[in-house]
Chain A
Amino acid sequence: MSDPKRYWQPEAETASRDQITAWQSERLVSTVKRVYQNVAPYRDRMDAAGVRPEDIKSVDDIRKLPFTTKQDLRDFYPFGLFAVPMEQIARLHASSGTTGKQIVVGYTQNDLDIWGDIVARQLTAIGLSPRDKVHISYGFGLFTGGLGIFEGARRMGATIIPVSSGNTERQITILQDFEPACIACTPSYAMYIAETMEKMGVDAKKLPLRCGVFGAEPWTEEMRRQIEQKLDIKAYDIYGLTEIMGPGVAYECECQAGMHVNEDHFIIEVLDTETGLPVKDGEKGEIVFSCITKEAFPILRYRTKDIGAVTHEKCACGRTFVRMSKPMGRTDDMLIIRGVNVFPSQIETVLLKTGHSPNYQIEVDRVNNLDTIAVRVEMNEATFSDTVSEISQRERALAEAIKSLIGVAVKVILVSPGSIERSTGKAKRVIDHRKLH
């Protein structure tokens, strides 16, 4: 048997900086022309900013373009930012938004193929080949996690085990019996699987599992060490967001030294959060992405609100793509709970709708490697009752209403009025006990 490939697409992954810049310029110019022509909101925005498509001559002109935000995706929900007619859309994916309104993105078949390629780049980098099986524990559905890894594994020709999420004991049985070489899931779920194995008396060292691709939520180097040690594998980070593509926008190679941004498809900018100007290598700023090959949903200058840094230093793996750090925080108050994006304002909306006090506090923790979220809400006379059963019933009903909006189970605790800590008159909304950054 021949040695496994080192690169999936070496011509792209090891291209010279000049070549990458040339691709980016050419592709940005044509994408801007295309969206100006086909997507009314982009045209209106550019007209308002006094930018013509012909003003964009190279990647350096990207800063002339207006930003796109998550609010824009909501404002033009569902298909207002799509750049091709619906008959060319091969698939839709969606993720939840703050007011219950989800955001939706589309892919042409070509977009899906590119998605497959960029995920296959990582699977190849970490030593997988068509001879290997890939166990996918991300949820399959509108969430991009499951089907994103699926595209990559399919593109590469690996054997796919589309387990989806849940039923941990069954997942472990599959890891034992089907013998995958790789598992893809959230890092906290990987930890949970490891601990469940310990409880079941399953020896991870006896499994042929070699590596894991973990993303969709923040995790630390300490967690990586624990996952690697407990599951006896190498653990690799993968970055992505629905608005841009899904998992695979950036990926760790075998060196585990930052995530290579797939620069032939995406332009990354790191901007000072105060001035909006680009920061130097190694300095923190807000990460902004532009899609330059996507047909269906070519979002330009999308503000991720993730704080991160990049380095252009050459990586030992030979890839030339710039590497980004793990996200080091957010510019807004978004929380990532078990891979799901949660905004405090979503919880507030539910409280107000159900007649509860808007004085609340969200306490996030990680217990046995699973994120937990507790919402403390100040009791008021409208929600009070003299019987325990009615109060418990109200707590459960509120927890259910919050869960149905944010998609994550929460515990609701009703507390005395005035008992939620206020700083400078405004209640402190979130206490996050997880040490993620």
Chain B
Amino acid sequence: MAIKQVSIFVENKPGTLVAITDAIGAAGVDIRAMSIADTQDFGILRLIVSDAEKTKQAVREIGCVVSITEVVAVAVSDRPGALNDVMHILSENGVNIEYMYAFLTSRGHNAYVVLRVADNDKAAGILASKGVKLVSEDDIANL
């Protein structure tokens, strides 16, 4: 089970991010989670949103390079050591993480962790078999 992440190329110069958040705001899309990877020359903005396709459209219209990437998201209970358990499962099964980020919501007792791995199905299967709760597109829409 994978969810859609919107990835946007962000050039390292003033005004780039605000143009993107303006466009997403105007499209009426809710941002659930975000992370930015930055290098010396550019950044990659990654978003989990209420409507990935609509976001892609809106951001593309302002001239950005954007893609939709499938990522795995898991719910971990909000207690010490919970993330560590997930990391152990992945590590022991040889799953390499390209990047990850986490977010919380105002409801419930879970934190959510977004994982980018080489093989989503394999990682999801392993996590599910160890009782980790995977987050679906519907779950994201209802957060």
If the complex has contacts A388-B44, A392-B39, are A415 and B66 also in contact, measured as CB distance less than 8 A?
no
- Residue pairs across A and B with Cβ atoms less than 8 A apart, 16 shown, are A379-B9, A379-B65, A384-B65, A386-B46, A386-B116, A387-B37, A387-B44, A388-B44, A391-B39, A391-B42, A415-B11, A416-B10, A416-B11, A417-B64, A417-B65, A418-B63
The listed residue with most B CB atoms (<10 A of its CB), out of A386, A392, A414, is: A386
**Do the beta carbons of A391 and B11 come within 8 Å of each other?**
no
**Do the beta carbons of A388 and B66 come within 8 Å of each other?**
no
**Do the beta carbons of B98 and A416 come within 8 Å of each other?**
no
Interface string of B36-76 (1 = CB under 8 A from A): 01010110101000000000000000011111010000000
Q: Cα distance A391–B12 when bound, in Å?
A: 15
Q: Cα distance A388–B116 when bound, in Å?
A: 12
Q: Cα distance A392–B42 when bound, in Å?
A: 10
**Do the beta carbons of A416 and B41 come within 8 Å of each other?**
no
If the complex has contacts A389-B98, A419-B11, are A384 and B63 also in contact, measured as CB distance less than 8 A?
no
Chain A residues contacting B65 (CB-CB under 8 Å) are 379-381, 384, 416-417
B103 CB to closest chain A CB (Å) equals 17
The listed residue with most A CB atoms (<10 A of its CB), out of B5, B9, B42, B63, is: B9
**Do the beta carbons of A387 and B42 come within 8 Å of each other?**
no
**Do the beta carbons of A391 and B44 come within 8 Å of each other?**
yes
B57 CB to closest chain A CB (Å) equals 13
What secondary structure prevails in chain B residues at the interface with A?
strand
Contacts from B to A (Cβ < 8 Å): 5, 7, 9-11, 16, 37, 39, 41-42, 44, 46, 63-67, 69, 98-99, 116
If the complex has contacts A386-B7, A387-B99, A389-B98, are A414 and B42 also in contact, measured as CB distance less than 8 A?
yes
Interface string of A371-407 (1 = CB under 8 A from B): 0000000011100111111011000000000000000
A178 CB to closest chain B CB (Å) equals 42
Q: Cα distance A379–B10 when bound, in Å?
A: 10
Q: Cα distance A389–B37 when bound, in Å?
A: 11
Q: Cα distance A391–B11 when bound, in Å?
A: 13
Closest A-B pairs by Cβ, 6 of them: A386-B7, A416-B11, A386-B69, A384-B65, A379-B65, A388-B37
Interface string of A136-159 (1 = CB under 8 A from B): 000000000000000000000000
Chain B residues contacting A419 (CB-CB under 8 Å) are 11
Determine whether A370 belongs to the interface, using a CB cutoff of 8 Å to chain B.
no
Q: Cα distance A388–B42 when bound, in Å?
A: 9
Chain A residues contacting B9 (CB-CB under 8 Å) are 379, 384, 414, 416
What secondary structure prevails in chain A residues at the interface with B?
loop
B65 CB to closest chain A CB (Å) equals 5
The listed residue with most B CB atoms (<10 A of its CB), out of A392, A415, A418, is: A415
Q: Cα distance A379–B69 when bound, in Å?
A: 17
A73 CB to closest chain B CB (Å) equals 38
Q: Cα distance A392–B37 when bound, in Å?
A: 12
Q: Cα distance A12–B135 when bound, in Å?
A: 88
B114 CB to closest chain A CB (Å) equals 11
B33 CB to closest chain A CB (Å) equals 14
**Do the beta carbons of B41 and A384 come within 8 Å of each other?**
no
Which of B16, B37, B46, B99 is in CB contact (< 8 Å) with A416? B16
Q: Cα distance A413–B40 when bound, in Å?
A: 10
**Do the beta carbons of B116 and A387 come within 8 Å of each other?**
yes
**Do the beta carbons of A417 and B42 come within 8 Å of each other?**
no
Kindly report which residue of chain A lies nearest to residue B69, judged by CB atoms.
Answer: A386
Chain B residues contacting A414 (CB-CB under 8 Å) are 9, 41-42
Q: Cα distance A414–B65 when bound, in Å?
A: 11
Which of A381, A413, A417 is in CB contact (< 8 Å) with B63? A417
Kindly report which residue of chain B lies nearest to residue A411, judged by CB atoms.
Answer: B41
Q: Cα distance A418–B64 when bound, in Å?
A: 9
Q: Cα distance A380–B16 when bound, in Å?
A: 16
Which residues of A (296-321) have their CB < 8 Å from a CB of B?
A: none
**Do the beta carbons of B64 and A416 come within 8 Å of each other?**
yes
Q: Cα distance A416–B62 when bound, in Å?
A: 11
**Do the beta carbons of A386 and B16 come within 8 Å of each other?**
no
Q: Cα distance A379–B7 when bound, in Å?
A: 13
Which of B10, B37, B66, B99 is in CB contact (< 8 Å) with A381? B66
Q: Cα distance A379–B11 when bound, in Å?
A: 10
**Do the beta carbons of A387 and B98 come within 8 Å of each other?**
yes
**Do the beta carbons of A416 and B5 come within 8 Å of each other?**
no
Kindly report which residue of chain B lies nearest to residue A380, judged by CB atoms.
Answer: B65
Which residues of A (307-360) have their CB < 8 Å from a CB of B?
A: none
A227 CB to closest chain B CB (Å) equals 33
Q: Cα distance A416–B14 when bound, in Å?
A: 13
Chain B residues contacting A416 (CB-CB under 8 Å) are 9-11, 16, 63-65
